[in-house]
Amino acid sequence: MITCETTFDLELLNLLKGCKRTALRIELLHNINLGETANFRFLRGYLTASLWSSTDDAGEPLDNDFGITSIATESLLSAWASAHGSCAKTKPT
């Protein structure tokens, strides 16, 4: 299970292929949707804001036609890694 405490280096260095990679994407999207940890709530907000603030080639906002589930697996994993790093840096000691 992917959590804020998960070490993401292994997932990023050894990207899974085929069915296993699809399962990872499904689990990641499920956790983003649930938002049970601060990391996943932050990630959901980050991805939503990214779609809202970006436009297509015609200048139309991406969030008009796309949602978080439209984002490529590689981009989701990259955003998750970034969010995990931000979450870890801001954790109270």
**pLDDT tens for residues 25-77?**
888 999 999 988 888 899 999 999 999 999 999 999 999 999 999 999 889 98
Tell me if 78 sits within 8 A of 46, measured CB to CB.
no
pLDDT computed for residue 88 by the predictor: 60
- Cα(14)–Cα(22) distance, rounded to whole angstroms? 14
Q: pTM score, two decimals?
A: 0.70
pLDDT computed for residue 54 by the predictor: 93
- Cα(27)–Cα(87) distance, rounded to whole angstroms? 19
**pLDDT tens for residues 8-24?**
444 544 554 566 777 78
pLDDT computed for residue 50 by the predictor: 92
Query: Of 14, 12, 19, 69, whose CA–CA distance to 44 is shortest?
Result: 69
- Reduced to 3 states (helix: H, G, I; strand: E, B; else coil), residue 58 is coil
pLDDT computed for residue 4 by the predictor: 46
pLDDT computed for residue 53 by the predictor: 94
